[in-house]
Amino acid sequence: MSNTQQQKPGFNCPECGSFIQTNIELILSGKIYCSSCGLELTPQLDQQDKEALKKMDDANQKLRDIKRDQN
């Protein structure tokens, strides 16, 4: 795994092995695609998982806003 991949969230495609960069928004969208081979992945999330991911995304956004405001 390269340095760039270690810094960005994602995983290797189970079909072709290419790195699929992802984020909470993409996971919550219900579909993730490999740009190399076109494999479509569907995250299996229940409502509790979705709510937890949304809370994490909101918290991350607040942190980004705080950092932006400090600069």
Q: What is the pLDDT of residue 7?
A: 81
pLDDT tens, position by position, 18-35: 999 999 999 999 999 999
**Domain total for the chain?**
1
DSSP 5-71: HHHS-EEE-TTT--EEE--HHHHHHT-EE-TTT--EE-----HHHHHHHHHHHHHHHHHHHHHHHH-
pLDDT tens, position by position, 2-12: 554 458 899 99
Structural domain boundaries enclosing 34: 3-70
